[in-house]
Amino acid sequence: MADHPLIGIVMGSKSDFDVLSPAVEILTELGIPHEARVVSAHRTPDLLYEYAEQAQARGLRVIIAGAGGAAHLPGMLAAKTLVPVLGVPVPATMLNGLDSLLSIVQMPKGVPVGTLAIGKPGAANAAIFAAEILATTDAALRERLQAWREARRDEVLAMELPVLQFREPMA
């Protein structure tokens, strides 16, 4: 595995980290080198451009970008790099992430952002999807990812519901 980050996880604010944390956890569990940092589309646009423009040269293969509200971060990253960008809408406003989802998913032709579900499930799926992208050329990662999926399956198969005692209906 690489000695540099292969996946970049960026978010518009430190307050978004809780939502993006499942991505960090899954990538760590799968042994995929990654980095996580705050890059705001609105407050640090120069940093956003620098991050996007240097992503490929730094060896990043996928960028996971979480953003709330106007959610311009994923789209602006995608506009400035050829590294695939996966957008995770963060439920940061009274619209519970719907505004972010619409902002991220409605990209113009030629500037794609792979858009995931709102919130923590989207962050988790972004990490899994990024791992699947890397696994197309990494047999060892493919094996770890397969084992990870099998472990999730086994967790579901091991689930037991409480047994309720049957009672005759009251007349």
Binding-site residue numbers for substrate are 13, 16, 43
C-alpha distances in angstroms, 6 versus 48, 83, 87, 135, 161? 18, 11, 17, 12, 40
Query: By CB neighbour count within 10 A (0-12 exposed, 13-18 middle, 19+ buried), where does 161 fall?
Result: exposed
Q: Cite the DSSP H helix spans in 32-138.
A: 45-55, 73-80, 98-105, 120-135
The token pair at 12 is: 């518009």
Give helix 73-80 / helix 45-55 axis angle, nearest 10°. Answer: 50
Nearest-angstrom CA–CA distance, 121 and 109: 26
Q: Point out the annotated binding site.
A: 13, 16, 43
The token pair at 8 is: 């970049």
Residue 84 φ/ψ, nearest 5 degrees: -60, 135
